[in-house]
Chain A
């Protein structure tokens, strides 16, 4: 099947294929629907960094009128395609992330204590659930100092963000 038409069509087609693939990974019943609670994972694994609030906005566009708890690929595809084409919810560069941690590090000591981190993450911003907090601590916390040395942590966790969408 040769790809004809303008380059733009090719780009859109490729994006749609990618979205469909990601969607289907969570489609357990093989009927082109996913649980609404998985939409966050799908959107994020396609390269987007939405806040929880932005995610709720997106959900409102793709959910059924009478919420069934499921989202159909039909509705999701055009909305998500637009998100990717518009490059909404862009990734957070490493240095911005570093500044964020530094903002929480009052003494500029290079680390944040466990208590401080837990307080910030579970009480401010869009708070973590207990599970999320535990999981973050399990990999971020240095058990000897009981603190998070954030420079190390960031470099371990920052994922290769090469944008492999066609230009």
Chain B
């Protein structure tokens, strides 16, 4: 400053300046911290949205399952055609005897053409094969169906010799790496191998289930995992997850992926995989101290039982169901081994080398509804039994578990558990989630398994002398999370699971000291270059889009709920009532008042014109005018269910179903969903699709026509 200024003035000036600077700093910091806090709130709300929608989806799966049970219990097939139809829905997978399986899924006759540029496999596999595969998949090549089937056969042979619970020891290899859900995200697997190294005699891996579904490269992941499994059988261990289940795959994308990639042989591949899945071990024990399972435990989890049951009998864990009261008698008889020669109600013997189709007994009068209902149920069950027996000419090793096959083990040497008890053991291991409260209760959100508290964990650890549990099954922001006082570790390896930037993936390494070391990552390069703000905004956008879709799907219910607060029919409600009404309809447990600014754009003095708000939502979903809007809503709400049902009907996975079948499906579906649909309504629906004159409907086209197939799929 001026050379002539006195020291005093300089001093005062600089004092003032530093005071100002100090105040300015406080202001900026105050503002910045508030900004970050808001971001944090937004991030958590977004997470909640995704989770609540995801679990509501899993609930749908169970609702679908209940739908089939509902059909079993209540539907009155008016014609033999309809009876066949329902039976077919239940026999969605014929059980194959091993020899038949080998014959059907034969690969030796498959020629690999000279034009094929992908990797070649020969057995026994060598490390070079693995690296060739990894390289090929990085180049987006596809493995020839012959090699896929060959690999699956060998995998199955190997898995069959394994016990239900694998044992790993840290004295043979220095460290064990445990990975969680991968869900078809091949990039994450590549990243794990890059950071941690490939499996080898000095590098053990445990992959804790859910290798498939949702992501687009589930098959590649399976191929890679199975290859390493065969090359390093002592070092690579796989646990079954709840998605290693063909019923779940029908819905969550794996079935579709395989059929798209292998148009000619997809069906065979799926059949083999279905079989391989049921041979996957159920759990892994590390040093006898750390139990690794996919879902969790329950207060009835019994490792001794788990070790002894025949795990391959549970082809789909989802399908076994408790018998209803009225059938208890039949069940008891079967358990006592009396069913073998018991004549059915039609007077036919059920056990014969080639059963003839049972003819239904005289139907009782319609007046007695209970009687009639029971007759229907029995008739349908007989049909199912008959279908089942047609495929199992004699006693099959691999019985498919259906509602009518709950017989006990006839193995007299071992303990006599009911199939029901065994099934529950597996269901709990694969589907359960930990909860902070003590106790053990039904997992109603997912519809399978249970919620287990820290006391349940404690008892299991004590009973089997374990140190802690490792499980997966739930997506975690940071890729991993402890709970139950660090006795339960959740490890999740699919990064960006909901959306780019939504979460990190992680894997955990254990040495002989069994102290966990974590490595976190995020597979998408973009995610790294985005600032926190950008990442959160992106994920948020995605979450709100999904949420708006859900709101639209419940338009009618929402209007009714709003009207309750708008008795004078002004078309407006307060924002507060909006929040209450929305929660009462959607039941997602979300903080609606926090989310409101993102969902409701325009308000006039704190009031919302709900009809125009809903109209805006509808426009966003590009609805089609000539279809009744309530119908469209129903379709949206049940889109996944619809698709799953269609896929089950389309047993040969050809992508085509006949018009007849479509009509019947629709009728069944709408009767269960309680919507009135006239035949005209159905015809309208059909008219808006292009369908081949030969009476077949390509249902992909159908779904596409209603914009039901999401852009990404």
Q: Chain A: residues with CB nearer than 8 A to chain B?
A: 1, 3, 10, 13-14, 17-18, 21-22, 24-26, 28-31, 40-45, 48-52, 91-92, 96-97, 99-101, 103-104, 120-121, 124-128, 132, 135-136, 138-139, 157, 159-160, 162, 164, 166-167
* A-chain residues with CB within 8 Å of residue B597 when the two chains form the complex: 160, 162, 164
- Closest 3 A-B residue pairs measured CB to CB? A125-B25, A44-B37, A45-B41
A-B contact pairs, 30 of them (CB 8 A): A3-B574, A10-B576, A13-B576, A14-B576, A17-B576, A25-B44, A25-B45, A25-B48, A26-B44, A29-B436, A40-B33, A41-B41, A44-B34, A44-B37, A45-B40, A45-B594, A97-B28, A100-B24, A100-B27, A100-B28, A104-B21, A126-B25, A126-B30, A127-B29, A128-B32, A132-B33, A139-B532, A160-B597, A164-B575, A167-B606
- Contact indicator A50/B30 (Cβ below 8 Å): yes
Q: How far is the CA of A49 from the CA of B37 in the complex (A)?
A: 10
* B-chain residues with CB within 8 Å of residue A42 when the two chains form the complex: 37, 41
- Contact indicator B21/A45 (Cβ below 8 Å): no
- Contact indicator A138/B532 (Cβ below 8 Å): yes
- Contact indicator B606/A18 (Cβ below 8 Å): no
A125 contacts which of B28, B576, B579 (Cβ < 8 Å)?
B28
CB distance from B457 to the nearest CB of A (A): 15
* B-chain residues with CB within 8 Å of residue A40 when the two chains form the complex: 33, 37
* A-chain residues with CB within 8 Å of residue B700 when the two chains form the complex: none
- Contact indicator A104/B30 (Cβ below 8 Å): no
- Contact indicator A49/B36 (Cβ below 8 Å): no
- Contact indicator A18/B45 (Cβ below 8 Å): no
Q: Which residues of B (250-309) have their CB < 8 Å from a CB of A? A: none
Q: Scoring B residues 606 to 644 as 1 if CB is less than 8 Å from chain A, else 0, what string do you get?
A: 100000000000000000000000000000000000000
- Contact indicator A104/B531 (Cβ below 8 Å): no
- Contact indicator B31/A92 (Cβ below 8 Å): yes
Q: Chain B: residues with CB nearer than 8 A to chain A?
A: 20-38, 40-41, 44-45, 48, 436-437, 531-533, 574-576, 579-580, 591-594, 596-597, 606
- Contact indicator A31/B436 (Cβ below 8 Å): yes
Known: A21-B591, A25-B48. A101 touches B34 (CB 8 A): no
CB distance from B434 to the nearest CB of A (A): 11
* A-chain residues with CB within 8 Å of residue B592 when the two chains form the complex: 21
Q: How far is the CA of A157 from the CA of B597 in the complex (A)?
A: 17
- Contact indicator A41/B40 (Cβ below 8 Å): yes
Given contact pairs A126-B30, A164-B606, a sample of 16 additional A-B residue pairs in the complex whose CB atoms are under 8 Å apart: A40-B33, A45-B37, A51-B30, A52-B29, A92-B30, A97-B28, A99-B24, A100-B24, A124-B21, A124-B26, A125-B22, A125-B28, A132-B33, A139-B533, A162-B597, A164-B597
Q: How far is the CA of A29 from the CA of B29 in the complex (A)?
A: 31
A120 contacts which of B21, B41, B437, B593 (Cβ < 8 Å)?
B21
- Contact indicator B34/A125 (Cβ below 8 Å): no
* B-chain residues with CB within 8 Å of residue A31 when the two chains form the complex: 436-437
Q: How far is the CA of A91 from the CA of B596 in the complex (A)?
A: 20
* A-chain residues with CB within 8 Å of residue B576 when the two chains form the complex: 3, 10, 13-14, 17
* B-chain residues with CB within 8 Å of residue A164 when the two chains form the complex: 575, 596-597, 606
CB distance from B228 to the nearest CB of A (A): 37
- Contact indicator B38/A30 (Cβ below 8 Å): no
* A-chain residues with CB within 8 Å of residue B32 when the two chains form the complex: 128, 132, 136
A-B contacts at CB below 8 angstroms, number: 133
A30 contacts which of B29, B437, B531 (Cβ < 8 Å)?
B437
CB distance from A135 to the nearest CB of B (A): 6
Q: How far is the CA of A41 from the CA of B33 in the complex (A)?
A: 8
- Contact indicator B35/A124 (Cβ below 8 Å): no
- Contact indicator B29/A97 (Cβ below 8 Å): no
A49 contacts which of B20, B31, B437, B532 (Cβ < 8 Å)?
B31
Q: How far is the CA of A28 from the CA of B592 in the complex (A)?
A: 18
Q: How far is the CA of A34 from the CA of B596 in the complex (A)?
A: 23
With CB as the reference atom, state the residue of chain A lying closest to B533: A139
Known: A17-B576, A29-B436, A126-B26. A48 touches B20 (CB 8 A): no
- Contact indicator B34/A120 (Cβ below 8 Å): no
* B-chain residues with CB within 8 Å of residue A126 when the two chains form the complex: 25-26, 29-30
* B-chain residues with CB within 8 Å of residue A92 when the two chains form the complex: 27, 30-31
With CB as the reference atom, state the residue of chain B lying closest to A49: B34
* A-chain residues with CB within 8 Å of residue B21 when the two chains form the complex: 103-104, 120, 124
With CB as the reference atom, state the residue of chain B lying closest to A1: B580
- Contact indicator B41/A132 (Cβ below 8 Å): no
- Contact indicator A22/B591 (Cβ below 8 Å): yes
With CB as the reference atom, state the residue of chain A lying closest to B580: A1
* B-chain residues with CB within 8 Å of residue A104 when the two chains form the complex: 21, 24-25, 28
CB distance from B436 to the nearest CB of A (A): 4
- Contact indicator A103/B20 (Cβ below 8 Å): yes
* A-chain residues with CB within 8 Å of residue B33 when the two chains form the complex: 40, 44, 52, 132
Q: How far is the CA of A18 from the CA of B593 in the complex (A)?
A: 6
* A-chain residues with CB within 8 Å of residue B594 when the two chains form the complex: 18, 21-22, 25, 45
Q: How far is the CA of A44 from the CA of B591 in the complex (A)?
A: 16
Q: How far is the CA of A125 from the CA of B27 in the complex (A)?
A: 8
- Contact indicator A22/B27 (Cβ below 8 Å): no
- Contact indicator A157/B27 (Cβ below 8 Å): no
* A-chain residues with CB within 8 Å of residue B48 when the two chains form the complex: 25
- Contact indicator B30/A103 (Cβ below 8 Å): no
- Contact indicator A124/B25 (Cβ below 8 Å): yes
CB distance from A26 to the nearest CB of B (A): 7
CB distance from A162 to the nearest CB of B (A): 8
B436 contacts which of A28, A44, A97 (Cβ < 8 Å)?
A28
- Contact indicator A30/B436 (Cβ below 8 Å): yes
CB distance from A101 to the nearest CB of B (A): 7
CB distance from A109 to the nearest CB of B (A): 16
- Contact indicator A24/B606 (Cβ below 8 Å): no
Q: How far is the CA of A52 from the CA of B40 in the complex (A)?
A: 17
With CB as the reference atom, state the residue of chain A lying closest to B577: A3
* B-chain residues with CB within 8 Å of residue A3 when the two chains form the complex: 574, 576
CB distance from B531 to the nearest CB of A (A): 4
Q: Which of B24, B533, B593 has the most CB of A within 10 A?
A: B24
CB distance from A80 to the nearest CB of B (A): 14
- Contact indicator B35/A159 (Cβ below 8 Å): yes
With CB as the reference atom, state the residue of chain B lying closest to A123: B25
Known: A25-B44, A103-B21, A132-B36. A17 touches B593 (CB 8 A): yes
